[in-house]
Structures are given as structure tokens and as C-alpha cells.
Chains A and B, each alone.
Chain A
């Protein structure tokens, strides 16, 4: 009795089959659930930003109700994107060395700069230019600490003349255009961190960055669907169905491209059947059956593809309430599916030995530095931050005069 409880609370010893190098036979894989969350969260950032870019750059008007929400979602997740990495490091106190003395041939080192660029030069700037006029207006109507906050965030630029606001919009548009390749770079680079490891046949793959970017877009759009619907439900507001249909359409198209490229990757691997493919085949059929076949393929890809595809051709025959539930379900399924995909990439690559002669059985522990409790906390953190950001910058009490012409709760869109 005591033993199982100990295993749940502390550490579950792995089990090995075949031969693994002695240094690989440790108590748990070197990169655990925290490293699974790192590409997941980063992907959500990139996807949510691209969602916002659809409004700003590509003028997809029906998506305007989720423009600011997407940007704030991207910010909330971006602020947490490096936390799993930091928690995982043996010496987190030395992490600043990545920025101070980066080793320029390392994908991980360059990621630090890509992250800094994306946070400081893209997302924060775009948000600031978009919100500046509102900050000025809110600082006048609000009192107390909120007034101080909005005034501070306006950075002393209180000119809200048409000329000045037009300049804000122009700069925001330029930043948004820069932001699209930056978002691709941000998450493509995460893919490259894995794709560049030639020692590991599961990871070392030229199209890994592309797979990561596409799955990021899918997960980002799904997150926006999820957050938008939850927010409307919490505020007891009607969901803008036109916006939801449009998000569903983009989710479907992104999913089609993502599934095609991932399938192509597997077909190529199976056809070329290079050294190590037999191990990968075994992994897919045995060790990763639930997360790959059920989580990633069935739940995260096939079911949403089928449902969203049907909705594209038969939307008008489906009642609104059913449509809303289907979109929500697909969003949640895709979010779970992409999390499963990250697990399959990160953990799958470590479940077999680089000797290609052995595999590892691993049960995620509950507590501890690589346990799912810490993973859950880190995954909850962006949602907590997003709640605060929504309270501050997407409040129903505050009039919006920035880019967004329609307020979130306006059902007439």
C-alpha cells in the first residue's frame, strides 16, 4: 500500500527493455514534462499572434472581436514560455549567460534572442500602439491605482489627435507585418532545437520546424476559440457566431495543412525506413499508442477534421447551439491533441536508446521537479495572467477607442 502511494507522490522508477547506454538508464528521461510544456506554450503564443494578424494585416473583419483577446492571450503565454525551461535547468541562476555570452551555433542560445525580439520588439510594441489611445482615455475616467497604471502605461504620450492615432495604427500595422515572420521564427526555432539533433532519429528532421509552426497555428487558433467562448460564457454574453465560424474555418484549413505535412513526414520515414525506423515503428505502436494514436491522431486531428470539415459544407443546416458546442469541443480536442504531439516529440525521442537496442517505460510522477503537478501549475499560470490582463485591458467597464471597432460583447457583428 505504502509503495504505490510513494510512487504516485514521488518518483516512479522507469523500466528498461533491451540495451540502453548506461548513462541513459537514469531515474527519468533527461527532459521531462517541463520540456513538453515549453514548445506547447511557445506554440500557443505564435498561433494566437497569427490569429490576431489575420485581423490586423489580412483585414479579416469577422475576427475583430477576438483581435485584442488574441494579443493578450499571446502575451500571457509568452510571459510564461521560458518558465518551464528555467525550472528545468540544473543552474537556473546562470541562465542569463545565454543572453550575455551566447554560443552562436546553438539553437537554444539564439532562441533567447528570438524570444526577446518577439516579446519586446513585436508583441509589447504592437499592444502598446494599439492601446495607447485607450490608456489615455482610461486614465481620465478611472480613479486610484488603475488611473496610475493606465497613465504609466501611456508612457507620457497623451496626444490623441487623429494624426497621432493614425500614426499609432500605421506603426502597429508595420509591427504586425513584422510579427508574422517573427512568430514563425519563434516557433520554427523551437522546432529547430529538436530537429537539429542528428543523434536522435526521432528528432533529427529537416521539416521539424515546419511541423512545429503548423501545429502552433492550429493550437493557437484552438486556444483563441476556447478562451473566447469561455470569456463569453463567464460574462453571460452571446458568442459572435460569425466570428466563431471564421475561427472554425481557419482552424480547419490550418489543421488540413498540419495533418498533411505530419502525414508526409511519417510516410517519408516509413518509405525510406532508415536506421532506427524499426524502433520508431515500435514506439508508435506500443509505447506511444495512447498519446500518438488516440491523443494526437484521433482526438487532435481526425475528429476535429471531420467535424470542422462537415461544418464547412453544411454549416447552415446545423443549429447555432450545436455549432457552438462543436466548435468548443473541437477547440479542446485540438488543444489536447497538440499537447499530446509535444509529448510524443519530446518524450518519444527519449523513450528509446540512442543505441537503438532498447526502450524505456516511463510513468509521469505526481510531485517532484519533473512531475505533472508542477506541469499543471506552469500550464495554469498563463491562464491566471490572462485573467488579470483581461480584467485590466478588456474590461467591460472601459470604453474601447483603439483599433477594435466593435466591443467584445457586441453581438451585432
Chain B
């Protein structure tokens, strides 16, 4: 009996199965082409928009209405460790006498994400060099590490600049949460999938503003469409009138959330 032929057949079968597995990624490309951004109306064309969020740190009063509105609008779990947007309070103390430093200790807090505002600090007023509030949200990175590491492509960059998650596809591995340098993602205890700020995609695709922008009484958040500028566009004015910066620029993520008056202590 000559066994070399069946052996060859078995090897060919193994090879065929493996080649088949390697060929399957093509299916993903097809799926991606057919996919529709979640929450958007049928006639919305993401290629005709480019959203941008700007934040003026000096204008934020730390009222926390944005964090509250976000929770309500997007049904974010109530617990104090699930936020799509939150406010941080920075208190920089005066340097100790004779320390020959420009500033003292930096104290940061965000009780309940800043919802309901901040209680007065326990640091005596005379010891404070300065304090300010910083709103945080998904940084809409052009080169988003979360999208890069998602093993199934459930997280994706929409052509309009939003970084979105398909909750029906996410496997809940948490890799994107680990890869986000800004702590903007969490694993939802309800859906067991990753969740993050979508810029209120269901609103902006219908011509409305995100809930956090809508409710900000100090107009610290400026939101707009770079492809469809309006007359006296606040977005253009913001970029023109301020020296803008991004969070953790050294990581090369190229965030599209721009901050004005950002202190070096903010990470």
C-alpha cells in the first residue's frame, strides 16, 4: 500500500483549511462597506462632515451639567466609575517657602465625575496658587490606538471624525480600554461591551449639538463641522483666537479635541 498519496491529501486538507481561514478577512471588508454608523438617520452621509470639539479651560466653571446631561442623554450607567465625559478639578498649591520652585503640589479630583459640581476644597485659599476645571471626553484621535487594537474591528473611525463602537459586534475584551491613553472608555456592566463618547452621534447627525455642548452654561465647549462652516463660525474663531493644545501630544494620537489655555499639569 502506498501511503504517500493519502498523506499528501491530508496535508493538503490541513493547508486548505488554514488558507481558508486566512482568506476570510475579505469578509470583513465587505461587512465594513455595508455597515452603517449606529444611531445615524438613513440620509446622513458621514463623508460630508468633519466634526471637531474645542474646549476653553478658562471658561469651565465646574458645574458638572455636561457630565449629568451626558449620563441622561446616553443612558450611561449611574455608578461613579462609568463616564463618557467628566470634569477634573486641578488645584495647584503655592510653592513651599524656600523651595525655589515655581509651583507647589498639584491636587486633582473628580468626585462622581464632577456631576453636581464640586464641594469647596479643603486646601486653604491662601495656599492656592491657582485652580481650574478641565472637561474630559473622547479625544477623537485621528490615529486612535483604540481602533488600532480592536481585534474584530467593532471600534472604527467614522469618516466624519467620530470614533464609534458597534455594540452588536464588540466581544468585550477590553483591549481598547487599555489602549486609550485618556481613560475615556469603560466596559458597560449592562451590555458587557466597550462604551465611550460618541459625540451624541444620534443628535449631531440630525443637526443638533452634543448634550454636553448644549447644556454648558459657560460655553466652554465649542462644537462644529469643519466641512460646513457657518457664518462667524465659532470653531474657526476659537482656533484663530486661542493657542490650542491637545492632551498627551507625545503619544502621537493626534486628538481632534482641542484645548485652549491648557496647563502642563493636565494629562
The residue from A22, A99, A105, A275 contacting B110, defined by CB atoms under 8 A apart: A22
Q: Is the CB of A353 within 8 A of B149?
A: no
B193-239: which residues lie under 8 A (CB-CB) from chain A? 193
Q: Give the dominant DSSP class at A's interface.
A: loop
- Contact digits for B80-109, partner A, Cβ 8 Å, 1 yes 0 no: 111100101000000000000000001111
The residue in chain A whose Cβ has the minimal distance to the Cβ of B178 is: A197
**Cβ of B169: which chain A residues have Cβ within 8 Å of it?**
94, 97
Q: Which one of B25-33, B41-49, B119-127 is at the interface?
A: B25-33
Known: A90-B192, A102-B25. A355 touches B149 (CB 8 A): no
Residue A101 is within 8 A (CB to CB) of chain B in the complex = yes
Give CA–CA (A101, B149) in the complex, Å.
Answer: 14
Can you list, as one digit per residue, whether each of A14-46 has a CB less than 8 Å from chain B (1) or not (0)? 000001111111110011000000000000000
Stretch from A116-124, A227-235, A246-254, A319-327 that touches the partner:
A116-124
Query: Contact between B170 and A21 (Cβ–Cβ < 8 Å)?
Result: no
Q: Which residue of B lies closest to A93 (CB)?
A: B171
Closest to A194 in B: B178
Is A105 within 8 A of B193, CB to CB? no
Task: Determine if B171 and A109 form an interchain contact, defined as CB atoms under 8 angstroms apart.
Answer: no
Residues of chain A within 8 A (CB-CB) of B145 are: 197-199
Judge whether B187 and A91 touch: CB under 8 Å: no
Check A200 for interface membership: any CB of B closer than 8 A. Answer: yes
Tell me the bound Cα distance from A116 to B22 in angstroms: 11
Determine whether the beta carbon of A90 is less than 8 Å from that of B3: no
A4 within 8 A of B: no
Tell me the smallest distance from the CB of B112 to a CB of chain A, in Å.
Answer: 8
Decide if B21 touches A116 in the complex (CB within 8 Å): yes
CA distance A353 to B109 in the complex (A): 13
Residues A109 and B151 in contact, CB atoms below 8 Å apart:
yes
A272–B169 alpha-carbon span in the complex (Å): 41
Q: Does A167 contact B (CB under 8 A)?
A: yes
Contact of A158 among B1, B27, B175, B185 (CB under 8 A): B1
CB of B157 to closest CB in A, whole Å: 12
Contacts of B2 in A (CB 8 A): 159
Task: Tell me the complex Cα distance, A97–B169, Å.
Answer: 8
Closest to A356 in B: B267
Q: Verify if A125 is at the interface (C-beta below 8 Å from B).
A: yes
B145-179 CB contacts (< 8 Å) to partner A:
145, 148-153, 169-175, 177-179
Contact digits for B30-74, partner A, Cβ 8 Å, 1 yes 0 no? 010000000000000000000000000000000000000000000
Are B83 and A23 in contact, CB atoms less than 8 angstroms apart?
Answer: yes
A193–B150 alpha-carbon span in the complex (Å):
11
Name the contact of A355 in the complex, choosing from B153, B250, B267 (C-beta under 8 A): B267
Verify B178–A31 contact, CB threshold 8 A.
yes
Q: Is the CB of B18 within 8 A of A109?
A: no
Whether A157 contacts B3 by the Cβ 8 Å rule is yes
Contact partner of A106 (CB less than 8 A), chosen from B22, B175, B185, B251, is B175
Residues of A within 8 Å of B1, CB to CB, are 158-159
Contact B185 A23 (CB under 8 A): yes
Bound form: Cα–Cα A120–B11 in Å:
11
Q: How far is the CA of A100 from the CA of B163 in the complex (A)?
A: 23
Question: B25 contacts which of A24, A101, A116, A164 (Cβ < 8 Å)?
Answer: A101
Question: By the criterion CB–CB under 8 Å, are B179 and A25 in contact?
Answer: no
- Asked whether any CB of chain B lies closer than 8 Å to the CB of A354, the reply is yes
Chain A residues in the interface with B (C-beta under 8 A): 19-27, 30-31, 85, 88-92, 94-95, 97-109, 112-113, 116-117, 120-121, 125, 155-159, 164, 167, 193, 196-200, 275, 349-350, 353-357
Q: Which residues of B contact A (CB under 8 A)?
A: 1-4, 6-7, 10, 14, 17-18, 21-22, 24-25, 27-28, 31, 80-83, 86, 88, 106-110, 112-113, 136, 145, 148-153, 169-175, 177-187, 191-193, 250-252, 267
16 CB-based A-B contacts, threshold 8 Å: A20-B183, A21-B110, A22-B110, A31-B174, A90-B172, A94-B171, A103-B150, A103-B151, A105-B149, A106-B150, A107-B149, A108-B149, A117-B18, A121-B18, A355-B267, A357-B106
